[in-house]
Amino acid sequence: MASPKKYYCFLFASVLAISIFFNNGTAIEEETEAIGSKPWLTVSLSSLFPSHTCTPLTGLKKNSGLEVIQRHGPCGELRHGKANPKTIPTHFDILSEDQARVDSLHSMLSKRLSHDNMKQLDSIELPLLPGAVLRTNGEYIVTIGLGSPEMNLSLIVDTGSHLTWTQCKPCIVKCYNQQEPIFDPSKSTTYSHINCSSYTCNQILSTARYQECPNSPTTCIYVAKYMDTSTSAGFLSKERLTVAANNTFDNFLFGCGQNNRGITFGGAAGVLGLSRHPISFIQQTAEAYNKVFSYCLPSNPSYVGHLTFGSDGVSKDVQYTPISNIPELTSLYGISIIGITVGGINLTSVTSTLSSAKAIIDVGTLITRLSPSVYTALRSEIRRRMAMYPMASEMSILDTCYDFSGYKTVMFPKISLVFGGGVKLDLAASGIFIAVSPKQVCLAFAANAREDDIIILGSVQQKTIEVVTDLNDERLGFGPPGGCK
């Protein structure tokens, strides 16, 4: 699952419904809709970009909360040092890598696959695209403790990965470069291997197609394969895992990686698996957290978000929609998107397509992907309402971009998503556009290749919103924008 030279993937705050736009003092007339409450978002152009300092998070739960940061930018650099400029991808690289992850997801869920192939793909790890998705603005890192004595490790948050793993000494075959020292199990008093003949190795791990026991009659070997050909292989093990303020879990199952290959994992120590699979972190800590976790992704790299386990402290303003089970890949978090509104007006032409489409929510995907007909309707309405602004050239998969270089403030219509059960999510200002530069600010949605490709709700649209996952009651919750900055 490094970010660009300038961290522009964030936008707009504050809401205002007015009919006059100001272009450096020049009034521009624009129609407004009376329907809906405050259908326009407005912001100063300078707020499209992060500051040079990191603003700390306040109110984090000490016993069950972790800080979520984007690896590069002020907050990431504060903890891990500055990235090598040579390793920082361009915006084009970021979007290309994001599309590669989406293509992998679609290949697993495509209706064109035969039933046998679908069974096979169901057993493959969700493509994390290490070093690709992990280097983009979708790169979110938390720090956990492992071992006795405890060693802090930065792990990538991935709601599509099953197994939690980290690189381990002695790195029998290969380890990539990471920010922290590599975990050494020989120095921990609570570390142990899993036997190859055990129930855990033969039943639980094998259901994820991780388990292998070649030439190893005693030690269970895991192999995590990603669809960009990257792999992590090593010993399935048990260890003490520490979450936040000494909240510990003994005998936590994790992968102790001895051979980690492919595109680099962005300097992180490994992956925190938050899928629905029985071996995931959420399932292993069910007794303590009741299979509930929530997160809030920061609006840009100058801020810190959170990943919190358990239901204590979840906002009363959260609205819940049922988790939709996708038979082809049950470990993903399925959702039902039934409507889209733009500036308070419902796009009625897309209702039928949305109601019959499969959809998931994914932290590892940056840009939300919609069915071609749905995206066309959304794009047309955005372009109609923003016709007063000069358009800019396209950026990779983003085809609706504007030149705001002549403006001190900009405005655009509010976008809301409607989910099953009537839950309506008003996207935060930071969840609608991506700013490459003042001369190129692009709508953060894209079209799938085919109408029956799965819809993916990406991380941009989730920014500043408290997202709650409750596996015990099989539901997903969305709070209003502003759950974090």
Encoded tokens for 293: 């976790």
| Catalytic residue flag (residue 116) | no
Mean per-residue pLDDT pooled into runs of 10, the chain (485 residues):
36 26 30 52 79 84 82 71 58 76 74 39 30 40 95 91 93 90 97 86 60 65 71 91 88 94 73 91 95 93 92 90 85 94 95 94 92 97 96 95 93 95 92 90 95 94 96 95 87
Distance (Å, rounded) from C-alpha 478 to C-alpha 483?
Answer: 10
The pTM of the full predicted model, rounded to 2 decimals, is 0.84
The amino acid present at 177, given as its one-letter code, is N
Residue-by-residue DSSP string for 435-456: EEETTEEEESEEE-SSTTSPEE
Exactly one of 158, 228, 426, 453 is catalytic; name it. Answer: 158
Distance (Å, rounded) from C-alpha 485 to C-alpha 103?
Answer: 31
- What integer pLDDT is reported at residue 27 of this predicted model? 27
List, edge to edge, every strand of the sheet that includes 401-402: 391-392, 401-402, 440-443, 433-437
- What integer pLDDT is reported at residue 76 of this predicted model? 76
Distance (Å, rounded) from C-alpha 108 to C-alpha 441?
Answer: 32
Distance (Å, rounded) from C-alpha 462 to C-alpha 444?
Answer: 12
Residue-by-residue DSSP string for 95-108: HHHHHHHHHHHHHH
The amino acid present at 6, given as its one-letter code, is K
CB 134 within 8 A of CB 72: no
Helix (H, G, I), strand (E, B) or coil at 480: strand
CB 425 within 8 A of CB 465: yes
| Catalytic residue flag (residue 473) | no
Q: Which tens digit of pLDDT belongs to each residue from 271-291?
A: 999 999 888 999 999 999 999
- What integer pLDDT is reported at residue 66 of this predicted model? 92
Exactly one of 122, 228, 317, 362 is catalytic; name it. Answer: 362
Give every CB contact of residue 18 below 8 A, 6+ residues apart in sequence.
32, 40, 42, 411
The amino acid present at 482, given as its one-letter code, is G
Report CA dihedral (454, 461, 68, 168) to the nearest 10 degrees: 20
Residue-by-residue DSSP string for 107-137: HHH-TTS-HHHHHHHHTSPP---TTTGGGST
Residue-by-residue DSSP string for 212-223: E-TT-SSB-EEE
CB 1 within 8 A of CB 230: no
Q: Where are the beta strands (DSSP E) in 12-171?
A: 20-23, 26-29, 40-44, 65-70, 140-146, 151-158, 165-167
Q: CB 246: neighbour CB atoms within 10 A?
A: 10
Domain topology for 20-481: Cathepsin D, subunit A; domain 1 (2.40.70)
Residue-by-residue DSSP string for 421-432: TTEEEEPPGGGT
Q: Which tens digit of pLDDT belongs to each residue from 96-131?
A: 777 877 877 777 666 434 443 433 333 333 332 222
